[in-house]
Amino acid sequence: MALVNYTARNFGLRIQREATFGTAIALSSNGMSTIPIESFTKTDGDVAHDDLMLTDTDRIKDTGDLYTNTINSNSSIPFSTLYRREYASYLLGAIFQTASPGNTGTNPYVHTWTLHPTQPDFSANAGWFYSVVWDDPITAQDHLLKSCILSQFSIKGNPTGKGKAALVTMDGTFWSPFSRAVEQTFSGTPSTPSTNFLNSSLFSVTIAGGSALPVRSFSIDFTCNPFKIPTGGAAATIGWNIPFHSAKLKMELYWNADLAGYWSGLQAGTGYAIVLGNGVATSSYESFACTMNGRPIGEPPADSGGNAVMQLEYELVGSGATAPISLVTTDAITGL
């Protein structure tokens, strides 16, 4: 009997962008990137296991009474990890589905991510989709999910945290319109991320170009709500749709005179331009900025751990030709 138990640190995620939708990257590939995970929940999606009760018996179920449908299933893997600047770009591509994030400058390269008004044509291999390997420490127990995007993705910070608790984190859910391949063996040599983290203690926010306001906590949350459309024919003939992109920027700000000056506008739903970032120049790996146009929702100031703070939430709202949200990141990746 195997009595060895494992922790989250024994598992890992390996990802690589696919060239052809529906065709997975080979498990022997050396081009996969590692996403070290802090926590995880392994789910099998919505594979249907149903009772049909076809046999004439009143005692127990017969094997003929059981039906499993994998054709209409999908699969997903939720994860949580520290923000590592090299691989944040892969994850942003999986949620933004932008045609190109740009790749300007020299190392570090600057990427500007913006939401597009229309989804890519996956049948023409447009967009950003990935093979994701769930690397299990037990031999021949790896899982392979093909043509994944991110159905949900968040970037979070706790500037008042001590040590590791102040580092920016990322969490999300890889989603595939196909059932997963189980009991696989990943044999490639993946790349390993550096310790290029982001310290959320450097972050502040500006509203309508005003003074930089200190942030107590923040969360940038994206959701794209994908669903699958069976198109007939072979089981692998699958269409899928991203009907709606939503994004919210949630912050807890310290109450002061500068923030109070926006209170009446926030009450009225005035669409202030807002920028959350760390103020670091794009020539540095530590550069990060989120610009968002949206509908603000402000709550009256309240006590939080002895500090007067205000809860401020921005809901993504488009503004004509203006990109409703954009993120500027820097990394060392040239293959985007």
Q: Give me the helices (H) in 73-212, please.
A: 85-96
Do the Cβ atoms of 213 and 254 come closer than 8 Å? yes
- Reported as type and span, the H/E element at residue 148 is strand 142-157
The backbone region for 321, taken as left when phi is positive above 0, alpha when psi lies in -120 to 50, beta otherwise, is alpha
Q: Give me the helices (H) in the chain, please.
A: 85-96, 257-260, 263-268
Q: Looking at residue 236, what is its pLDDT?
A: 47
239, pLDDT greater than 60: no
Mean pLDDT of 83-97: 82
pLDDT in tens, 113-142: 877 667 777 778 888 889 999 888 788 888
Which is more confidently placed, 77 or 48? 77
Of 28-32, 139-143, 289-293, 317-321, least confident by mean pLDDT is 317-321
Residue ranges of the domains in the chain?
Answer: 8-43+67-331
List, in order, residues 6 or more apart from 168 with CB less than 8 Å away. 82, 83, 155, 156, 157, 197, 198, 199, 200, 288
How much is the mean pLDDT over the chain? Answer: 79
pLDDT in tens, 322-333: 566 778 888 877
Q: Looking at residue 156, what is its pLDDT?
A: 96
pLDDT in tens, 151-186: 899 999 999 988 889 999 999 999 888 888 777 888
d(CA 78, CA 185): 21
Indicate the pairing of strand 307-316 with strand 246-254.
antiparallel
